[in-house]
Copies of this chain bind each other. A is one copy, B any other.
Amino acid sequence: MRELKRQLQEERKRINAVLERECSLLPPLVRPVAEHILNSGGKRLRPLLTAFMAKVFDCDHADIYDLGAAVELCHMATLLHDDIFDHAATRRGKTSAHAIFGVTPVMLAGDAMLGQAAHLASRQCNGDIVSCFGQAIVHTAQGEVAEFQSLGRIDLPYEEYLEIISGKTAWALRSACEVAAIRSGAEPEAVQAAARFGMELGIAFQIIDDALDIAPEKIIGKPAGGDIREGKSTPLIRFYWESLPSDRAAAFAAKFKERSFEESEVQAAIEAMRKEKLDVRTRRLAAQHLQNALEALKVLPEGPGRDTLVKVSEFICSRNN
């Protein structure tokens, strides 16, 4: 575990160096926004996956960090745009970019970061890699619109929930892994397995993220219960709703739809979910997708690279913040 943490730290250093370089190359009016989101924390999960997936194939091209950084630039652009339409005041406990710079510069800085990602990804002159990025951006947007349209629907079927998170979250992790396999010159089946691994891990990652909605603010850096307030239908909230007697369930569904909960009601729901350990039940859903991810990994070459990815996956799925 200590060895894994050391490795993660080392890789993050290399990734951050590329991200800082790319942000410094942005023109002066979009750069401060990019630097703000870059310095707002973040685990660099996506570029870490790119770096570790390359190791599975013994690929030691230094430009693998460029690809990881390109994935992260797209991710940061998405975060900037999300915070605008979510009207989020904070991100990871810090003031949101649009609250500092205004909506217009932040929206445009997001666009610029997508452009810079394309520019960065173009260096390998590999059409498959660029196509992979392009598709990830498209599917992330589709997933986010689907989520937006699902707001307030407490009875959202699990399949639709899976479709939403596959788009809004997992596709980016998929692309992070897929580009690494392509750059490593992997065979088509191995590229597919890498993509599947990323997708399944991404789904597990998001389910756990949604389970953490009732974790204490001091641990996750944002007030608990955000999804309840925003009408974001997650398995965690659905489990709670299903546990209510029918009259209370109907009242909950109505308020969920209208996003009209009193703060005391949100707190009561959080307490009840914690007491019933519904987050633990939610995590069991993630476990299945972690299993699928590890299954996909088995197709890839054995060795310390693959072992690390297994550890990273298990680490991600057991995380508490």
Query: Interface on A for B, CB 8 Å cutoff?
Result: 26-30, 77-78, 81, 84-85, 103-105, 107-112, 114-131, 133-142, 144-146, 148-149, 167
Contact = CB atoms under 8 A, between A and B. Distances in A.
A138 B126 contact: no
A122 B104 contact: no
B125 A138 contact: no
Stoichiometry, copies per complex: 2
Contact of A148 (B104, B120, B121): B104
A197 to B, nearest CB: 22
A114 B85 CA distance: 18
B29 A105 contact: no
Nearest to A127: B125
Contact of A123 (B127, B146, B148): B127
A138 B26 contact: yes
Nearest to A102: B148
Nearest to A139: B27
Given A85-B103, A134-B116, A141-B30, A122 B127 contact: yes
B112 A138 contact: yes
A120 B142 contact: no
A124 B125 CA distance: 9
Contacts of A133: 115, 118
22 contacts: A26-B142, A27-B139, A27-B142, A30-B141, A30-B142, A104-B145, A108-B142, A109-B145, A110-B111, A112-B137, A112-B138, A112-B141, A116-B138, A117-B134, A118-B118, A118-B130, A118-B134, A121-B130, A123-B127, A125-B127, A125-B128, A130-B130
